[in-house]
Structure 1
Amino acid sequence: MPLFLLLRLHRVQLPVRVTDPEEVRQVSLLVATGLIEAEFAAIRSRARQAVWQVATVTRITEEGFAEIARAGKMPEPAQAFIRFPRGLRLL
Protein backbone atom coordinates (compact mmCIF):
# COMPACT_ATOMS: atom_id res chain seq x y z
CA MET A 1 0.00 0.00 0.00
CA PRO A 2 1.46 3.39 -0.96
CA LEU A 3 0.65 4.92 2.45
CA PHE A 4 2.87 2.37 4.20
CA LEU A 5 5.68 3.18 1.79
CA LEU A 6 5.19 6.90 2.50
CA LEU A 7 5.46 6.21 6.23
CA ARG A 8 8.65 4.17 5.66
CA LEU A 9 10.12 6.96 3.54
CA HIS A 10 9.42 9.40 6.37
CA ARG A 11 11.70 7.35 8.66
CA VAL A 12 14.74 7.23 6.35
CA GLN A 13 17.15 9.86 5.15
CA LEU A 14 16.39 10.99 1.61
CA PRO A 15 17.28 10.61 -1.20
CA VAL A 16 16.68 6.88 -1.29
CA ARG A 17 16.73 4.47 -4.22
CA VAL A 18 13.82 2.05 -4.67
CA THR A 19 14.40 -1.02 -6.84
CA ASP A 20 11.61 -3.46 -5.94
CA PRO A 21 9.12 -3.43 -8.87
CA GLU A 22 6.05 -3.23 -6.61
CA GLU A 23 7.56 -0.40 -4.57
CA VAL A 24 8.55 1.46 -7.76
CA ARG A 25 4.89 1.26 -8.80
CA GLN A 26 3.86 2.63 -5.40
CA VAL A 27 6.40 5.45 -5.75
CA SER A 28 4.82 6.37 -9.09
CA LEU A 29 1.40 6.50 -7.38
CA LEU A 30 2.77 8.72 -4.60
CA VAL A 31 4.33 11.03 -7.21
CA ALA A 32 1.06 11.14 -9.18
CA THR A 33 -0.86 12.16 -6.06
CA GLY A 34 1.73 14.83 -5.22
CA LEU A 35 2.87 13.31 -1.92
CA ILE A 36 6.53 12.86 -2.90
CA GLU A 37 9.01 13.87 -5.58
CA ALA A 38 11.06 11.20 -7.32
CA GLU A 39 13.12 10.55 -10.42
CA PHE A 40 12.76 7.38 -12.48
CA ALA A 41 15.40 5.59 -14.52
CA ALA A 42 15.65 2.37 -16.46
CA ILE A 43 18.66 0.16 -15.81
CA ARG A 44 19.55 -2.50 -18.34
CA SER A 45 20.76 -5.82 -16.94
CA ARG A 46 23.53 -7.51 -18.91
CA ALA A 47 22.78 -10.94 -17.51
CA ARG A 48 19.27 -11.31 -18.93
CA GLN A 49 18.94 -8.33 -21.26
CA ALA A 50 16.16 -7.18 -18.95
CA VAL A 51 15.27 -3.59 -18.15
CA TRP A 52 14.59 -2.67 -14.52
CA GLN A 53 12.82 0.46 -13.34
CA VAL A 54 14.49 2.31 -10.48
CA ALA A 55 13.06 5.26 -8.58
CA THR A 56 15.05 7.74 -6.53
CA VAL A 57 12.83 9.48 -3.99
CA THR A 58 14.21 12.98 -3.43
CA ARG A 59 11.73 14.52 -1.01
CA ILE A 60 8.34 14.34 0.68
CA THR A 61 6.09 17.26 -0.23
CA GLU A 62 4.03 19.37 2.16
CA GLU A 63 0.98 17.37 1.09
CA GLY A 64 2.91 14.21 1.93
CA PHE A 65 3.71 15.47 5.42
CA ALA A 66 0.04 16.39 5.88
CA GLU A 67 -0.96 12.84 4.89
CA ILE A 68 1.58 11.41 7.34
CA ALA A 69 0.11 13.60 10.09
CA ARG A 70 -3.41 12.39 9.25
CA ALA A 71 -2.22 8.78 9.29
CA GLY A 72 -0.74 9.32 12.74
CA LYS A 73 -4.13 10.43 14.06
CA MET A 74 -5.97 7.34 12.86
CA PRO A 75 -6.86 4.89 15.62
CA GLU A 76 -5.13 1.55 15.55
CA PRO A 77 -7.39 -1.24 14.32
CA ALA A 78 -8.47 -3.60 17.08
CA GLN A 79 -6.74 -6.93 16.82
CA ALA A 80 -9.09 -9.73 17.68
CA PHE A 81 -7.44 -12.99 18.54
CA ILE A 82 -8.35 -16.37 19.92
CA ARG A 83 -6.24 -17.65 22.80
CA PHE A 84 -5.54 -21.37 22.85
CA PRO A 85 -4.03 -23.52 25.58
CA ARG A 86 -0.23 -23.26 25.98
CA GLY A 87 -0.28 -19.57 25.03
CA LEU A 88 -0.88 -20.01 21.30
CA ARG A 89 -2.87 -17.23 19.64
CA LEU A 90 -4.64 -16.95 16.34
CA LEU A 91 -4.98 -13.47 14.92
Structure 2
Amino acid sequence: MSSLPKSAPTPRVSATVLLLRDDPFEVLMVSRAARGAFASALVFPGGAIDPEDSEPGWREVIEDFDDVADEERPLRVGAIRELWEETGILLGGAQAPARNG
Protein backbone atom coordinates (compact mmCIF):
# COMPACT_ATOMS: atom_id res chain seq x y z
CA MET A 1 0.00 0.00 0.00
CA SER A 2 1.35 3.41 -0.98
CA SER A 3 1.11 6.50 1.20
CA LEU A 4 1.57 8.82 -1.78
CA PRO A 5 -1.34 11.13 -2.63
CA LYS A 6 -3.54 9.98 -5.51
CA SER A 7 -3.11 13.29 -7.33
CA ALA A 8 -0.85 16.28 -7.01
CA PRO A 9 -2.37 19.40 -5.46
CA THR A 10 -3.22 22.24 -7.81
CA PRO A 11 -0.62 25.00 -7.46
CA ARG A 12 -1.83 28.48 -6.48
CA VAL A 13 -0.50 31.63 -8.07
CA SER A 14 1.45 33.37 -5.34
CA ALA A 15 4.26 35.86 -4.76
CA THR A 16 7.05 36.26 -2.23
CA VAL A 17 9.11 39.28 -1.20
CA LEU A 18 12.79 39.11 -0.33
CA LEU A 19 13.48 42.32 1.56
CA LEU A 20 17.18 42.95 2.16
CA ARG A 21 19.19 45.65 3.93
CA ASP A 22 22.87 46.30 3.19
CA ASP A 23 24.58 47.70 6.26
CA PRO A 24 24.57 45.55 8.28
CA PHE A 25 23.30 42.86 5.92
CA GLU A 26 19.86 41.65 7.01
CA VAL A 27 17.13 39.50 5.47
CA LEU A 28 13.50 39.94 6.53
CA MET A 29 11.71 36.70 7.40
CA VAL A 30 8.49 36.05 9.32
CA SER A 31 7.45 33.14 11.51
CA ARG A 32 4.46 31.08 10.36
CA ALA A 33 1.62 30.31 12.75
CA ALA A 34 2.25 27.66 15.40
CA ARG A 35 -0.37 25.39 13.81
CA GLY A 36 -0.82 24.22 10.24
CA ALA A 37 1.53 23.49 7.39
CA PHE A 38 5.15 24.34 8.17
CA ALA A 39 4.21 25.37 11.73
CA SER A 40 6.51 28.02 13.22
CA ALA A 41 8.82 27.91 10.18
CA LEU A 42 10.72 31.04 9.18
CA VAL A 43 9.61 32.13 5.70
CA PHE A 44 9.78 35.11 3.38
CA PRO A 45 6.60 37.24 3.45
CA GLY A 46 4.17 36.35 0.69
CA GLY A 47 1.10 34.40 -0.24
CA ALA A 48 -1.63 33.75 -2.76
CA ILE A 49 -2.68 36.34 -5.32
CA ASP A 50 -6.18 37.74 -4.71
CA PRO A 51 -8.60 38.68 -7.54
CA GLU A 52 -8.32 42.34 -6.44
CA ASP A 53 -4.59 42.25 -7.25
CA SER A 54 -5.59 42.22 -10.94
CA GLU A 55 -7.74 45.37 -10.80
CA PRO A 56 -6.82 47.86 -13.57
CA GLY A 57 -6.82 50.76 -11.08
CA TRP A 58 -3.42 49.70 -9.81
CA ARG A 59 -1.89 51.19 -12.97
CA GLU A 60 -2.88 54.65 -11.70
CA VAL A 61 -1.17 54.36 -8.32
CA ILE A 62 1.99 52.37 -9.08
CA GLU A 63 4.78 54.29 -10.79
CA ASP A 64 6.17 52.81 -14.03
CA PHE A 65 3.46 50.13 -14.04
CA ASP A 66 2.94 50.56 -17.78
CA ASP A 67 6.41 49.05 -18.31
CA VAL A 68 5.37 45.81 -16.55
CA ALA A 69 3.90 42.87 -18.48
CA ASP A 70 0.16 42.35 -17.92
CA GLU A 71 0.61 38.90 -16.38
CA GLU A 72 3.27 40.23 -13.97
CA ARG A 73 1.23 43.12 -12.52
CA PRO A 74 -0.97 41.04 -10.16
CA LEU A 75 2.14 39.28 -8.85
CA ARG A 76 3.76 42.59 -7.94
CA VAL A 77 0.58 43.96 -6.36
CA GLY A 78 0.05 40.72 -4.42
CA ALA A 79 3.63 40.70 -3.17
CA ILE A 80 3.34 44.30 -1.94
CA ARG A 81 -0.05 43.56 -0.32
CA GLU A 82 1.19 40.38 1.40
CA LEU A 83 4.26 42.21 2.75
CA TRP A 84 1.96 44.89 4.20
CA GLU A 85 -0.49 42.36 5.68
CA GLU A 86 2.21 40.21 7.29
CA THR A 87 4.66 42.87 8.49
CA GLY A 88 3.10 46.34 8.31
CA ILE A 89 5.84 47.37 5.85
CA LEU A 90 4.53 49.28 2.84
CA LEU A 91 6.86 49.48 -0.15
CA GLY A 92 6.76 52.76 -2.04
CA GLY A 93 8.67 55.76 -3.20
CA ALA A 94 8.68 59.28 -1.90
CA GLN A 95 5.28 60.94 -1.86
CA ALA A 96 4.77 63.46 -4.63
CA PRO A 97 4.37 67.07 -3.43
CA ALA A 98 0.81 68.36 -3.24
CA ARG A 99 -0.30 70.59 -6.10
CA ASN A 100 -1.77 73.98 -5.24
CA GLY A 101 -4.91 75.16 -6.99
Structure with greater helix percent:
1
TM-score range, shorter chain: under 0.3
